[in-house]
Amino acid sequence: MLRFTLNIPAAEYLRFYQGEARSVIVQSWEGHTLQFPAALLTRFVTRDGISGDFTIAFDQNNKLLSLDRLQ
């Protein structure tokens, strides 16, 4: 499981909805560069955008197992 922090303003996340961008690239707290589809973040969008600390886990084949916001 890897941890990372996001702070994407609503106006910037709108680019994903408009098809201008498809992926999010972020550096994990552990130093790994992560790239995943922006659509995975839809459930975390608020009127202010997306912000917070998250965990993400993949299996051995890099298939997503979980994506959660830390409390």
Distance, CA of 50 to CA of 61 (rounded, Å): 27
Computed on alpha carbons and rounded to an integer, the radius of gyration of the chain in Å comes to 12
Percent of the chain whose predicted confidence (pLDDT) is above 70: 100
Domain that holds residue 43: 2-69
In the chain, how many domains are there? Answer: 1
Q: Which pLDDT band, with edges at 50, 70 and 90, does 21 fall under?
A: confident
The answer, yes or no, to whether residue 15 has pLDDT greater than 90, is no
pTM: 0.87
Q: By C-alpha distance, which of 51, 61, 56 is closest to 40?
A: 56
| Token output for 24 | 């999010």
